[in-house]
Amino acid sequence: MHNEPCQNCDHKHEAAPQTTTAHSELDAIKNEINAKLGEKNHKSLPVGNILVTVLLGVLTLVSVGQMVESVYIFNKLKSGNIAPSTSAPQTNSPQSAPDMVGGC
């Protein structure tokens, strides 16, 4: 299409408006984006991520176990229900210290 007279006729042909081509280009881009968004991604997690997750879970469980034990010990100390130790008494005399201190 053009604005000049044709060789076969005397009238002018008008060019198609540019808005329709821009509109159709936008529609094409929109359809392409929608198609990409509609695709389902079934990517699996890398092994490193799974290992870190498992390790964090194990460490969390160990931490919870230690917390429960410390609360139990604290409550036992608070109530005064502590039995005397059955191990041998330790003396703080210099004779009980090792002869060689520090590897000398």
How confident is the model over 85-101, as pLDDT tens digits? Answer: 666 666 666 666 666 66
With beta carbons less than 8 A apart as the criterion, state whether 3 and 16 touch. Answer: no
The residue ranges of every structural domain in the chain are 46-77
pTM above 0.95, yes or no: no
Which residues have a Cβ under 8 Å from the Cβ of 3 and sit 6 or more positions away? 12, 13, 14, 15
**Which among 64, 68, 67 has a CA at the least distance from the CA of 56?**
64
pLDDT for 52-88, tens place per residue?
999 999 999 999 999 999 999 899 888 887 776 666 6
